[in-house]
Amino acid sequence: MNNKPFTAFLMLVLCAFGSAASAQSRNVIDAGRGDIPLVVPNTYNSELSAPLIVLLHGYGSSGEGQDNYMKFSELADRYGFLLATPDGSVETGGEKRRYWNASKACCNFFEAQLDDSGYVMNIIKTVQGQYNIDPRRIYLIGHSNGGFMSYRTAYEHSDVIAGIASLAGAEATDAMPAPANPVHILQIHGTADGTIAYGGSEIRGNVYPGAEETVARWASYNGCEAQGKVIGTLDLERNLEGLETTRTSYAQGCSIGGSTELWTIAEGSHIPAISDSFSEEVVEWLLARPKVLAMQNSTAD
């Protein structure tokens, strides 16, 4: 991919996401870089553990903008999860867009020294310090650069992250040894994505893998069989006719607590006009897949 699509992409982001604030009231936390909106469902009970979702925005967007687009906060009461919507850092040069330092390809273009994977973990720990969070159900959802960031965080903190959903993101430039723990992986990608290509490409000379290679890597990491199986179709894009999205599952032979799935949006773009059911489908997929925590050894008195 050449550099020009990024300028066009930012304009699409601003148009698609807008600036209107979510109708749902939000609390605020600080994980070391300033205020982060935190949605706490009306059903929250401190005596019962609740799931946590961290939503990671795309390049040039914001946590608020990403939620305006995907509207996960509107689902928090129904499904009982807490939702954090942080902002990435602002670039030191250029047009000073927000970004995550996620991979060689995307999107730390001014080479700042940032540990955004560690920052995401600080967000999780901060929420855990104030609320009763189920350690088996901590999830990341990311779009584009946020999808890249979800993969990096899941890889580096596989002991904490139960699962991720990446829309139009990709794995690291280089394949690596499997992480210490399995993680549930959902990749969602349009075949007509002109910014982060479905088949993989490069950004400023740095290669990123395509959707199928990304999923194949994580299927391998999770110990799953290499051959995926088509298990159904979905309507995720309201401007495309019919059930345009194909579900391919890599679930056979996987390590306990790990699975991999690819949702391919035929002719889908980088910022698809998501259907009314898109975010519900993503949340339900994640919440149905908790992490299997290692049993702690106990010593008899």
Q: Which residues contact 169 (CB under 8 A, 6 or more apart)?
A: 142, 143, 144, 145, 146, 147, 148, 149, 150, 151, 187, 196, 214
Within 10 angstroms of residue 53's Cβ, the number of other Cβ atoms is: 26
Range of the domain at 157: 4-287
Specify if 186 maps to a domain.
yes
- Sequential pLDDT tens for the chain (301 residues): 444 444 344 444 444 444 333 334 479 999 999 999 999 999 999 999 999 999 999 999 999 999 999 999 999 999 999 999 999 999 999 999 999 999 999 999 999 999 999 999 999 999 999 999 999 999 999 999 999 999 999 999 999 999 999 999 999 999 999 999 999 999 999 999 999 999 999 999 999 999 999 999 999 999 999 999 999 999 999 999 999 999 999 999 999 999 999 999 999 999 999 999 999 999 999 999 999 986 433 333 3
Specify if 247 maps to a domain.
yes
Number of compact structural domains in the chain: 1
Specify if 139 maps to a domain.
yes
Q: Enter the tokens of residue 147.
A: 């999808």
Specify if 11 maps to a domain.
yes
Is 140:56 a contact under the CB 8 Å cutoff? yes
Specify if 118 maps to a domain.
yes
CATH number reported for the structural domain that contains residue 107 in this entry: 3.40.50.1820
Specify if 44 maps to a domain.
yes
Specify if 251 maps to a domain.
yes
Q: Exposed/middle/buried for 178, CB within 10 Å: 0-12, 13-18, 19+?
A: middle
Specify if 47 maps to a domain.
yes
